[in-house]
Amino acid sequence: MRNARLTSLRLARSSSSRMLPRTTVAAMSTSADGSSALSVAAQRLRSPVTWISASATLGALYGLYQFQYTRQLTTQRMAGRPDLGGDFALVDWDGKPVSSKDLVGKWVLLYFGFTKCPDICPDELHKVTAVLKRLENQGQSIQPVFITIDPTRDTKARLKSYFETAGFHPRFIALTGDDAAVKKACRAYRVYFTKPTPEEIKRGDYLLDHSIISYLVDPEGEFADYYGKSLTEDEMFTRVGKLMGDWERQKWWDSVLPAFMATPQMTEGQKRAAEAAKPGNRSAA
């Protein structure tokens, strides 16, 4: 009789053990170091969320650093930048009106000169052409613009013939206008040039002394930099390319910085993982 009772008791204990839910058994078990299996599972589930958050934070901090660095360089450049640039309204060699507002949205490289210039102007325009082609090879595009300082001789027909045969960049836009319109454009960029005398105009064989500078204008229509005759092609290429790159990066960060500064929002998957990893949540096991 006693043996029968012992057998019944063993069977009851065995049956009771099999009926316990797996989550309960998992919660009751311990690892070698004394930590519960639930805690180990929770730590594993918490780790991905932690790494994601850390990566996002580091990325945001690095991005903010780059943004501030670029802005600091821009501020330093702006502090020493002359107050140049302004509106102008001229015509191209087809008689089409072209104003400074028509060029907004593009990088522009302006050069003031005259087609009767024997050497300096052609040399500078060839240098500009070489720089623009090198920039195009690395994906940076600039609109070259020539503005005459000699509207008396640089008629629309003269500009067309000159730029179609001189071997300059094919995208050059050459502009002219009446004396008042040309002078306004020159004043905006502080271009110096001598005026021919009436006798020289009558003879038509005069030369003009003038500023030898190329002006870079950004896509917002603001003066960005200038390059004199002493600057080599390589130096001009490096300066223009770097300035364009810095400007584009700053504008990109201006557009995305609000998203970096906003409180990060967790995805649904991250929310579920975080909820499952909470201490005491048995589903984590």
Cα 22–chain centre separation = 57
> Binding site annotation covers 210?
yes
Rounded Cα distance, 162 and 115, in Å: 7
Q: Which of 194, 239, 204, 262 is nearest to 73 (CA)?
A: 239
Q: Which helix (H) or strand (E) holds 108?
A: strand 108-113
Other Cβ atoms less than 10 A from the Cβ of 176: the count is 25
Q: Which of 159, 138, 37 is nearest to 96 (CA)?
A: 159
Q: How many helices (H) and strands (E) does the chain have?
A: 9, 7
Q: Is 186 annotated as a binding residue?
A: no
**Is 117 annotated to bind ligand?**
yes
What are the CA-CA distances from residue 242 to residues 69, 79, 246, 253 (Å)?
14, 18, 6, 16
**What whole-number distance in Å separates Cα of residue 49 and Cα of residue 284?**
14
Task: Indicate the annotated binding residues.
Answer: 117, 121, 210
Task: Indicate the annotated binding residues for Cu cation.
Answer: 117, 121, 210
